[in-house]
Amino acid sequence: MVKSKLPNSVLGKIWKLADIDKDGLLDDEEFALAMHLIQVKIDGHDLPPELPPHLPCLT
């Protein structure tokens, strides 16, 4: 995640979005979601304020 060179504030928001179960840790699926969100941000798009219903198919 740090290699993305995104600001820590952005990475923190990505972590909060990706941590579906809110346990402070990212499992494999949550990490994959975080990497997707990092790519979204790198591609120049804004992060959503909350995950769209089709993304957190981990619950």
Q: What is the pTM of this model?
A: 0.86
CA distance linking residue 50 with residue 53, whole number of Å: 9
- Domain boundaries, given as residue ranges, for the chain: 8-42
- pLDDT of 31-52, one tens digit each? 999 999 999 999 999 999 998 8
Neighbours of 25 (CB within 10 A): 10
Q: What is the pLDDT of residues 2-41, one digit of tens each?
A: 899 999 999 999 999 999 999 999 999 999 999 999 999 9
Q: What does the alpha-carbon distance between residue 13 and residue 16 come to, in Å, rounded to a whole number?
A: 5
